[in-house]
Chains A and B, each alone.
Chain A
Amino acid sequence: MTQVATLPEPLATVAPPRSRSGGTAWALWLARRLGLAVLTLWLVSVLVYLATAALGDPVRAILGRDFAAQPARVAQLREQLGLDDPLGVRYLRWLGGLLTGDPGRSIASQRPVADLIGTTVVNTVVLVLVAALVMIPIAFGVAMVSANFRRRRGDSIIQVVLLTLAGLPEFVIGILLVALLSTTVFHLLPAVTISSQRGHPWDDPTTMVLPVATLVLTVAPYVSRIVRATLLEVLDSDYVELARLKGVPESVVMRKHALLNAIVPGIQVIALQLAWLTGGVVLVEFLFNYPGIGAQLVDSVRNHDVPMVQALSMIIAAVYVVVNLVADLLSILLTPRARTAISS
């Protein structure tokens, strides 16, 4: 505002302080979104804690039939989980531990949760990123081919194939791929990831092929269908018609007009699918025995390992919230209209 005050009166009213107020508007927008993200994560933590620690009796679940027979073990577990304190106190202690990087000890292995999760998080992140990098060009490519064939047989065939793939649950796709490529029809690829304690799955890249292919086939149809819909909308619009009338070749129309306009909806749906992937990897990792957080989560749930489940589900929820935030930011930065709407 101080800069504006020095300007002569008429100019100040004609030209609002764009840069300055634009900056504040951005900061405000970002602060609001960050605040909402933190609020969301906090509510998620309450939900996770209530679901795992208050809904049932974890000690009863851990011990199963031994619950009635071993009162000493019951007392010891209650002590370790701190179940004798009131719920609120337990929650605050857990939240404090989470914020200071100490989410407690695993019940199954008695090792700190942070140690157990370290490598599996990296493995899952690599799996999801590789799947995304393979998926994006394929999804856009299929969408462009399909849009090129619009209102013709090729398009409807591609659409039915995509719709069929989109209907299949990820573990069904995975098992069909295993049958096709590693056990029944061909014997090309290993069906499970066998990794040592220290090594990473990508030390033997062939073990990554099936998990990545499963994730790509699960996610690509959704992205492809959204991108195609956007492409069709643009290809039927007036300014594209004008470009064609000017004699711009169809391939250039597709590249310069249609594809650029499909990027923003593309980012939105890719972000949604990336966030979905962090949950979707659960079944795929379990199926292929891939040493990531998904397989670890299933093991922990089966062992009723409450501290592990709490930490892993918080990680997955956090990824979801962050990915959505980044996607919103990117789509605003890439849409000139939205960009100016915020800073003016």
Chain B
Amino acid sequence: MSASTVAPATRSSRRGAGLRRASRIPRLVGGAVITALVVLLAVLGPLLAPHGQNEVVGVPFGTADGLLGNDYLGQDVLSRLLNGGRAILLISLLGTALGMVLGVLVGVVAAYSGGWLDEVIMRLNDVTLAFPQILLALVVLTAVDQPRAWLIVVLVGVSHAPRVARLARGVALGIVSRDFVVAAEALGEKRSRVILAEVLPNMNAPLLAEAGLRLTYSIGLVAALGFLGFSTDPNAANWGQMIQENRLAMASQPWAVLAPVLVIGLFTVGTNLMADGIAQLADRGDR
């Protein structure tokens, strides 16, 4: 049954049961806790930072000042760590959202229309799948002097879309032939309404798991672009870029590199555990 037909009274109790079921999957809880901690660090970090992100507090690569020492310009590593998460978090979230919307739209339209349109869409999809995600971003960045934040968001989203579309099409194929979709069609509903009101609400669980997985890859991709030296602002603190800036002194001032690396790692591990937990939850719900 589609979620929209469930009466309001039963919906709240269903949500409670869902939460209880979720709390019984350790990796979902663990992943959610880790992710929440890193998100808090990224969002509240700038308020807690003892120094400004471009404030020189000591000698380059000094280890005497602050908790984590100084970076290549003598800036406080802890302050830059606390400041460097917002951009990555925001760009990854927006990129993931864009990729999910584009991918689901393409996949569902392909599945629902079928026939030659389906064939053409999925063939074109295969073409974009032949690019590893980072390659697509690099190819476009070749002709750009200084990338802006929206461009990175678009690149992340577009590189996700074909992968999401393939999954969404598969999920939607199992739904479009079910009775309630046929019934809606028989009642003369418009195609757009059938897709939005009947097909989409029933794809929730697998798409949520996919979104978690995509977020994991987005964070990795955005951080990787910073690590390769393609960031929106060369002076601003950014976890990916911090690795690149301080890499040469890894032997003498390891924290300048390890701190951002560990935070990125924690973040992606958290979202990945969460995505796997959601998939597990969806599996159990089906049975």
Residues on A close to B: CB < 8 A?
36, 39-41, 43-44, 47-48, 51-53, 55-58, 60-61, 64, 160, 163-164, 166-169, 171-172, 175-176, 178-179, 183-184, 191, 275-276, 278-280, 282-283, 286, 297-298, 300-302, 304-306, 309, 313, 316-317, 320-321
Contacts and interface: CB of A to CB of B under 8 A. Distances in A.
B250 A191 contact: yes
Interface string B252-287: 001001100100110011111100100000000000
B224 A169 contact: yes
Contact of A172 (B140, B228, B230, B265): B265
Contact residues on B (Cβ < 8 Å of other chain), bracket: 35 or more
Nearest to B132: A279
Interface stretch (B71-79, B142-150, B175-183): B142-150
A279 B135 contact: yes
Given A160-B27, A167-B272, A184-B251, A283 B130 contact: no
Contacts of A61: 142-145
Say whether chain B's binding surface is mostly helix, strand, loop, or mixed. helix
Contact of A52 (B143, B220, B228, B254): B143
B130 A309 contact: no
A298 B138 contact: yes
B229 interface: yes
A167 B216 contact: yes
A48 B130 CA distance: 11
A283 B141 CA distance: 16
A44 B127 CA distance: 6
A36 B124 CA distance: 11
Nearest to A178: B250
B133 interface: yes
B156 to A, nearest CB: 13
Interface in B239-255: 243, 250-251, 254
A302 B228 CA distance: 9
B55 interface: no
Say whether chain A's binding surface is mostly helix, strand, loop, or mixed. helix
Contacts of A283: 134, 224, 227-228
A279 B228 contact: no
B228 A286 contact: yes
Contacts of A282: 132, 134-135, 138
Contacts of B243: 171, 175
A304 B134 contact: no
A284 B117 CA distance: 39
B139 interface: yes
Interface string B65-104: 0000000000000000000000000000000000000000
A160 B28 CA distance: 11
Interface string B126-168: 1110111111101111111100000000000000000000000
B228 A298 contact: yes
6 pairs of A and B residues whose beta carbons are closest in the complex: A279-B132, A167-B272, A56-B143, A169-B220, A167-B269, A43-B127
